[in-house]
Every structure is written in structure tokens, then in C-alpha cells.
Amino acid sequence: MHQSDMERFAFLFLCGKHDRDILMGKEKMTFSDFDRLTFITDFLGLKLYNLEIWNTYSEQFTEQFQRLEQLYDETCGIEYWDTTETEQHDHWIQEFCRQVSDRKSRKKLEEIVKQQYQEKGLDDA
């Protein structure tokens, strides 16, 4: 089995039914789903699966990416610290952990998340 297959299998095993249905093509992926799922896979170090999600879905969000780029260009000179995004990311990670149905797997995932927070120099959620 290839590394990308193992990452996909692990993520699909851990994620909740809604996310699994999205990633299996049973439900439509929204831009918000795309943002959340790519953040979580990146945070967990699932680089190959993250890339697979990008390659599969990013093209359908071209317009949203263009709007974000335009917004960035218009506001790049403004300096401010907004904790909203960090809080949103923490929420996504916590929700992802809560959706793991197997208790042993959830406990192990929570340990991995805590280690990731420590390695990234972030307060753990």
C-alpha cells in the first residue's frame, strides 16, 4: 500500500460520516468544507492526502480563490491581529477529534493533536 493510500484510509477512518460522504463524492464539497478539510489534513501531517484533496477539488473554487487574492491585495498593507481564524482552526480540530467514534483511536488522535500544538508552539486547545 502506498503512503497516500494509507493517509487517505486513516483520515476516512477517523472522520465523521458527513466528511466521509463529502470525500467519497456522496455529498457536494463547499468552499468551507474544502478549507476545513485541507487545514485538518495539513495540521495532522497528512501531506499526500492533503495534496490529493487539493488536486481533486481546488479547481471548482477558482472564483473564491480569486476573491481571496483580491481581498489580500487590497488589505495587505493593513496590520492587525485577528484571532478569529486561529479560534476557527482550533474549533475544527476539536470537532474532528470529537467525531472519532472509536474511543482508543480518539484518545490517540488527541495525543497527536497535542503534540502538533506543542511542535507548532501553539497553546493546545
* Residue type at position 55: N
**What nine digits make up the cell of 91?**
474549533
**Is the per-residue pLDDT at 78 higher than 70?**
no
Query: pLDDT per residue over 20-73, tens digit each?
Result: 999 999 999 999 999 999 999 999 999 999 999 999 999 998 888 788 888 777
* Residue type at position 74: E
Q: Which H or E run includes 24?
A: none
**Is the per-residue pLDDT at 114 higher than 90?**
yes
Residue 90 pLDDT: 94
The closest alpha carbon to 20, from 125, 121, 112, 99, belongs to: 99
For residues 69-105, one letter each, b for 16 or more C-beta atoms within 10 angstroms of the residue's C-beta and e for the rest, the string is eeeeeeeeeeeeeeeeeeeebbebbeebbebbeeeee
> How many other CB atoms are there within 10 angstroms of residue 121's CB atom?
6
Single pTM value for the model:
0.82
